[in-house]
Amino acid sequence: MVYYEDEKLIIRNMEETDAQVFTDEFAAQGWHPEIDGYLARLKDQSEGKCIALTAVYAGCPAGYVYVYGKVNDGPFKEKDWPIIVDFNVLKKYQRMGIGNRLMDAAEAAAGRYSDTVCLGVGLCDSYGAAQRMYVKRGYIPDGSGVWYRGRQCVQYETVCTVDDDLLLFFSKKLRG
């Protein structure tokens, strides 16, 4: 399914061939991606658990994001809200508006489930651009503080590893 299209950019459902492209491209950026993660998300998509979106710029996969219909952990677990997960745009395609278009499509997909969407964002500097983008797009922190590996951190607790699992959660009203 195509969610957005213009002369250079298409946002469509993720396809199996995208998994290898993203694995190779993120490895070239110095990351340590595992193809199994992409394949698991594709399996979730085929089972109707999520919508996996790929942004294709000038014929090349440039970024992706996943929208799950229900939150499994964190501060929104008891809410009936969709969650946006694992938003990424390859470095060579950043600052071209692709991320915002991808988020537009993700929010539209989330709007099928609820009038509110949520997400978690990492706290280390590599998430700085995403943190700023979410705030500019109207996401607000939920007020529950920092979470680590699905568990809320408490004041004065020591969190030894600042990794992708150290999160702050946000939500956004899509309508109403």
**What does the alpha-carbon distance between residue 153 and residue 70 come to, in Å, rounded to a whole number?**
22
Sign of the CA dihedral with 4 first, then 96, 24, and 58 last:
positive
Instruction: Look up the domain containing 78 and give its range.
Output: 2-173
Q: What is the CATH classification number for the domain harbouring 65?
A: 3.40.630.30
Total count of domains within the chain: 1
User: 23-27, long-range: CB within 8 Å, 24+ apart, which pairs?
Assistant: 25/61, 25/90, 26/88, 26/90
pLDDT tens digits for the chain (176 residues)?
999 999 999 999 999 999 999 999 999 998 888 999 999 999 999 999 999 999 999 999 999 999 999 888 889 988 989 999 999 999 999 999 999 999 999 999 999 999 999 999 999 998 999 999 999 999 999 999 999 998 999 999 888 788 889 999 999 999 87
Reported as a single tens digit per residue, the pLDDT across 41-55 is 999 999 999 999 999
**What does the alpha-carbon distance between residue 85 and residue 119 come to, in Å, rounded to a whole number?**
6
**What does the alpha-carbon distance between residue 63 and residue 49 come to, in Å, rounded to a whole number?**
20
b/e burial code for range 152-173 (CB count within 10 A of at least 16 → b):
ebeeeeeeeeeeeebbbbbbbe
